[in-house]
Structure 1
Amino acid sequence: MTKILFIGDSITEWGRHDENPIGSGYVYYVSEELQKEGFHVINKGVGGNRITDLLNRWKEDVLSEQPDIVSISIGINDVWRQIDHPEKEQVDILMFCSIYERLLSQTNAKFVLMEPTIIGEKIDSVGNQILKAYAKMVGELAKQYNAYHVNLHEVFIEAIKDGKGPFTIDGVHMNDNGNRLIADTWLHIWRSK
């Protein structure tokens, strides 16, 4: 059975606990489809994570599972902490890219690289302006590693322009509409390659 592992922050973790290891967010909606196709789905999202946290738990949570496919969703907290906790040690775009490449290079799997979504439901919010560079970097890494590229930031910005929201409960964490948009975008990219 092909094993696909989702890793990321609270957007990936959403609703995950011992009795519900898949959660109730986008991973749940994607897994409904993938399980029909015979995939074994694992959710390793942890709230609050930045890419530095993924580095710290990569061996235990990813490499030890020996997944065939790894879907990575990270970057929101790397940017959000720059806004809401500027006193903390920050993950700038160069550190983000360096650590991301390190994770990819040590993993023998196919990758699905998901852009960070949105910070605030205004296209010109400070968070969304900063996120552009992180989203672009994810796209470049996807090309470099011949990975699936889930262009979520672009999709969410266009959906906001089209008035299809709201997508979040607080500007970051997804409501059902947002989770479904992530899942639909993920599945569209997955099936188009």
Structure 2
Amino acid sequence: MKDKARILFIGDSITEWGKNEDPEGLGIGYVRIIHDYLKTAFPSKNLEIINKGIGGNRATDLQDRWEKDVLALTPDYVSVSIGINDVWRQLDNPDMVQVYPDQFEEILTGLLEKTNAQLILMEPTVIEEDVNSEGNQKLIPYVEIVRKLANKFGAILVPTHQDFIDYLKSGTTYKLTTDGVHMNSAGNMLMARSWLQACESLLK
């Protein structure tokens, strides 16, 4: 990672997590863990971490604010975590206009095409801590789209969904979320670990 680098995280409430109450604007979630790790592991590097998560966001919301919240800030690295609400709204608010996989892919493709930065794409995590939940089944095509776009754009893929599924399949009963979607401290640690491991080549 360059000695002077701006790393921007954008996403929904999982990324936002406490940002608005934090004087540093980082929150208490996975972005904070990544920030603290990078700051202590590489104290000589001038790293700026920006959290642009907003609760409830779907791909359409990122599209509306990409120019102001990403491009205008000229980041060196852009980490994108989106997709949970695109699926969750299909379950908890089926009467609203939905973002289905084809539109999700079209929007993300357009955003990534205009972004001159090292892209880091995080798979959407989980909806309920049950591998076979309806939400996790509906997430599959969105996860596959993120993987496809990571390959297409030469982005670093953070296998967050796969790491959560592997954890759930381990048989442990220790929870990672507060409500099936929003992370507790363990869930945030898993996300941060997944990100740091995927981005290991950047950190040298």
Band the TM-score falls in, shorter-chain normalisation:
over 0.9
1:129-168 superposed Cα distances (whole Å, 9 cap, x missing partner) = 0111111110110011111001111110110111343110
Offset of residue 34 of structure 1: 2.2
Q: Report whether the alignment pairs 1:6 with 2:15.
A: no
Return 5+ residue gaps in structure 2 as ranges: none
**Number of residues of Structure 1 aligned to a counterpart in Structure 2:** 193
What is the TM-score with the length of structure 1 in the denominator? 0.97
How far, CA to CA, are the matches of 1:173 and 1:109 in structure 2?
28
Which of these residues, 7, 18, 22, is aligned with residue 15 of structure 1? 18
Which of these residues, 142, 164, 171, is aligned with residue 163 of structure 1? 171
Q: Which AA in structure 2 matches 1:181? A: L
Which of these residues, 159, 181, 191, is aligned with residue 190 of structure 2? 181
How far, CA to CA, are the matches of 1:33 and 1:60 in structure 2?
28
Q: Which residue of structure 1 lines up, in the alignment, with residue 151 of structure 2?
A: 143
How far, CA to CA, are the matches of 1:26 and 1:86 in structure 2?
29
Which of these residues, 66, 73, 79, is aligned with residue 65 of structure 1? 73
SS in 1 for 2:103: helix
Offset of residue 192 of structure 1: 4.5
Which of these residues, 9, 33, 39, is aligned with residue 37 of structure 2? 33
SS in 1 for 2:52: strand
Q: Which AA in structure 2 matches 1:57? A: R
8 A contact 1:72–1:114 mirrored in 2: yes
Identity %: 50
SS in 1 for 2:65: helix
What is the TM-score with the length of structure 2 in the denominator? 0.92
How far, CA to CA, are the matches of 2:122 and 2:58 in structure 1?
14
Matches within 5 A, 1:37-116: 37=42, 38=45, 39-116=47-124
1:103-149 superposed Cα distances (whole Å, 9 cap, x missing partner) = 00011000110000000001000000011111111011001111100
Q: RMSD across aligned C-alpha pairs, in angstroms? A: 1.1
1:157-185 superposed Cα distances (whole Å, 9 cap, x missing partner) = 11011134311000000000000000001
How far, CA to CA, are the matches of 1:155 and 1:140 in structure 2?
18
Return 5+ residue gaps in structure 1 as ranges: none
8 A contact 1:9–1:74 mirrored in 2: yes
